[in-house]
Each structure stands twice: as structure tokens, then as C-alpha cells.
Amino acid sequence: MVIFPADRLRNLTFGVLAVSGLGLVSTGFNPYNLRPTVHLLSAGTCFFCGAVGVLLLGGMLRHARRPYWGVAGIACGVTSIVSATLTALRPDPGVQGLFERIAAWPSVVWIIWTGAFILVFTRRAAHSIRDSQ
């Protein structure tokens, strides 16, 4: 059983998530106190691409017999996009850290749980195929 059919949407989704990962790595290699411009561009890439990837992945799961899981992903993606936008528009240091965390954590937690879910789902499917042979 295939969770995600091979199509352009799946490729786009995982491509956007990969770009988000590259943004995360670049953010770590470019600390704010040394290279603030590169750090901010990398963090923005990480936040926005990660949120869009979670939004798309949630939409795919919503249509793959996992509607509640998909809706949760869509909600996390929208929350992250709104918070990342507020982070970019509101440079006030008193609230920027809060918006950064709200932009990052819902999508990160959801993607971790989704990875665990897919792992369990594919193992169960593999065991049921093996037991039927």
C-alpha cells in the first residue's frame, strides 16, 4: 500500500521540505552575531519552506484516508506561516523570539509525529504482506 502516490505534488512537497532542511543547516552555520543577513535569509527559508511543506504534506494526508492527521498538518502549516510572517514584519526583540518559536515548533513536532506514523504504518503493511505469503 502506498501512502503517497508518485506525482508532482509529492515531489514538490518533499523538495520544499528539503530546501527547508538546507535553510536550517545554513542557519546553524551562519550565527546571527557573525553573519546576520545570511542567518536571517536562511532562517526565513527554513521557516517558510518548512511551513509550506507541512501544509502540502497535510493536504496529501487529508486525501490519503488520514483526514484528521492531514487537517492537523494543515493547521500547523498555517500557524507556522502566520507566525513566520509576524516574525518578519515585527522586528521588536520583545516578541520576535515568541513568534520564531511559534513559527518553528508546530511544524517540527507535527513532522516528527508524521515520520513516526509513516514508519509504524509501513512496518504494519510489510508484516501483513509477509504474513499473507
What is the model's pLDDT at position 88? Answer: 83
Q: What is the pLDDT of residues 47-90, one digit of tens each?
A: 999 999 999 999 988 877 778 988 999 999 999 999 888 888 87
What is the model's pLDDT at position 3? Answer: 66
> Residue 130: is it exposed, middle or buried by C-beta count within 10 angstroms (0-12/13-18/19+)?
exposed
* Number of Cα atoms under 13 Å in the Cβ half of residue 110: 29
DSSP 111: H
If you search the block for the grid coordinates 511543506, which residue do you land on? 53
Q: How confident is the model at residue 1 (pLDDT cuts 50, 70, 90)?
A: very low
What is the model's pLDDT at position 55? Answer: 94
Confidence (pTM): 0.82
Any residues with CB less than 8 A from the CB of 46 and at least 6 apart, and which?
20, 21, 23, 24, 26, 27, 104
CA angle 13, 38, 53 (to 5 degrees): 10
Share of the chain above pLDDT 90, in %: 48
Number of H helices, E strands in the chain: 4, 0
Higher-pLDDT residue of 74, 3: 74
How far apart, in whole angstroms, are the C-alpha atoms of residue 100 and residue 85? Answer: 10
Q: What is the pLDDT of residues 4-51, one digit of tens each?
A: 777 899 899 999 999 999 999 999 999 989 999 999 899 889 999 999
